[in-house]
Structure 1
Amino acid sequence: MESAKNNGLARCHECGLVCRFQPNSQCPRCDAKLHLRQPHSIQKTWAYLITACIFLIPANFMPITLLVSQGKATPDTIMSGVYALIDEGSTGIAIIVFVASILVPLAKIVGIMIILVSIHFRLKISHKLRLLMFKFIDWIGRWSMLDLFVISIMVAVIDKGQLLVIVPGPAATAFALVVLLTLLAAKNFDTRLMWDMEEDNDWTN
């Protein structure tokens, strides 16, 4: 089965219209420049992933919450919070927080990196398997915000004035950036590149 690309058709990245592609042509509906594939898709995806990896370090090792009790601040990282939940007998919640806050962001980064490396080095991996992996990564990424949701609930509920206050730590900002950057990485990756890897055409055209 021939692809739209081989038939000289391109989908406008602005309005979605499928039209005949020619070099330097424009969409007849919105006048946007037409591209067979998203311009610089792989480069943008790598840039977002590398930046996410940088922010992943402070997100996991800096305090994500600060418990202020009678003027004394007690910092908690993601892992120390997981250990605290286990010590209190809330093992189920601890597992959910661990999966959503550590495993999911890490799995997204590693998964997209595997796809990019397989395309770059033309590794013999099933295109359908890569596509299913990417769809799973894109779907599971929405659960990465669970930890920030828990923090917002704790800040709203556990606030007793000067006696007991929970405030977000610096890792909360870093973690939010990791989630945002991985979402942007997935959004900027053109999945059609997985089906084009055997062709010699320039992916960024």
Structure 2
Amino acid sequence: MSDPTVFIVDDDAAVRHCMSVMCDLAGLRCETFADAESFMAGYRPNRPGCLVVDQRMPGMSGLELLDWMGRQDAPLPVIVITGHGEVPVAVTAFRGGAWDFLEKPFPETYFLERVRAAFAHDAESRQRAGEQADVFARYRRLSRRERAVMELLVQGLANKLIAAELDIGIRTVESHRANVLKKMGAPSLSELTRLHLRLNGKDV
């Protein structure tokens, strides 16, 4: 995976330059854009990092870009920049899925701290997404009957009860159970339960 990038979107050239210099001096990769449309045209979901966007811009606003980002695959964490005293905007941004917001003027150290924290959040999110995709890939290898057995196993049913529920023999249940554990890469029922929770989008 490539190094994370700070994607800065602001219509003010001086502000873009200032934030770009701060990133450069801190050893952080960054790219700047004068408007939301330019960023959107070059956006690639496989590029990690974070998006720093000014709320007030001509054309598409920062909040509109925030909404667009939330509908993408592997959305970047978004830091929204607001003017002094724009508390309602910050509330709207958080409700819209913003990861954080910065109120102008902000100290350089705080800006860099939040960017690095956003990088860490993005890396963790991508790792979780990759792990979940792997679990789904394993689950797709199960037959329909094996999936039915798995559902009952994670509910805590014994082999005898599963056999009665599915109207099959106990040895057939034992065979399906062994296949489920093997295909899912689960050494135990507790691990199988954890993987089942991941299938349902729950972090465990």
TM range (shorter): under 0.3
Relative to the length of structure 2, the TM-score reads 0.27
**TM-score, with length taken from structure 1:** 0.27
